[in-house]
Structure 1
């Protein structure tokens, strides 16, 4: 039986241009933020809107594609898993935490001309490659969430 599900799916707008870097091992990684909006009625019946900001991290070929095609303001669909990491703040000595979405799928939405893109009329979809699908490797650090072949055989679908 499956142990759990860690999946996040967002549709929102990029808050900044992606920032790409290359790790010491040569792996590409890109970071960007996506804003999602929700509308609701407050206690007085007035419509309110709230914006939530999400940190997105993509690795490998998907990182390179995000860096090349995504621009601030562009509407995008992002799918991935939540991951929380921590570090010690050198200035205050406090332990800091952040939760990010490790992106496995990305689809550009809307017209690129309308949203700061480079004039793309189609909506291509990009998926993080895995070893089973092709020759690319997913070098995203694994947090123990993968299933063994025996566990996969136990899944009812």
Structure 2
């Protein structure tokens, strides 16, 4: 195989509210921690053990604004994106931080919804399209499962 692939798919819960930062008149970046859990049973004692892994999720522009508007701590989401590691120098010490740069986020269960479990999806547009309003409904191919909600997508 001559190529490589950098793709991450996670289903988990937000560990805190979405923090957004606007850095000019058009662009913004949002960050939030996300927890994924793995549960298994020990053979010796039949004790159930849960291991939690924390991820730093980063997203930009329209997707960041939607996350800030609809997501809060504890909400369940499906995130699809890439792993990226940042490096910087802090007073002579190299620091690293690994992040998930989200390209698609599906809101599986949100507290800010109207009391029902609603599912919505947004896909960040590709760099070539230069459009910041591409929105995908996760049920667009399944016409029998229409959503009755007031979400703008």
Superposition TM-score, scaled by structure 2 size: 0.76
Name the SS for the 1:55 alignment partner: strand
Q: In 2, distance between residues paired with 1:9 and 1:120? A: 27
Aligned: 1:125 with 2:124? no
Determine the C-alpha separation between the residues in 2 that align with 1:126 and 1:26. 18
Assess, with a 3 A threshold, how the Cα gap between structure 1 residues 73 and 62 changes in structure 2: closer, same or farther: same
- After superposition, the CA RMSD in angstroms is 2.2
- Please name the residue that 1:60 is paired with: 61
Higher strand share: 2
- Structure 1 residues 87, 39: closer, same or farther in 2, change over 3 A? same
Pairing of 1:1-150 with structure 2 (within 5 A): 3-24=3-24, 26-42=26-42, 44-45=44-45, 46-90=47-91, 93-110=92-109, 112=110, 116-119=111-114, 121=116, 122-132=118-128, 135-136=131-132
SS at structure 2 position matched to 1:109: strand
Structure 1: state its 5+ residue gaps: 138-157
Aligned equivalent of 1:143: none
Structure with the bigger RCO (C-alpha within 8 Å, sep 6+) is: 1
User: Per-residue displacement from partner, 1:83-128 (whole Å, max 9, x unpaired)?
Assistant: 00111223xx321111000000000113x3xxx3232632011110
CA distance in 2, matches of 1:24, 1:60: 11
SS at match of 2:84: strand
Cα distance in 2 between the residues matched to 1:102 and 1:54: 10
Partner of 2:141: none
Gaps (5+ residues) in structure 2?
Answer: 134-153
Q: Following TM superposition, where does structure 1 have runs of at least 4 consecutive aligned residues deviating by more than 3 angstroms?
A: 131-134
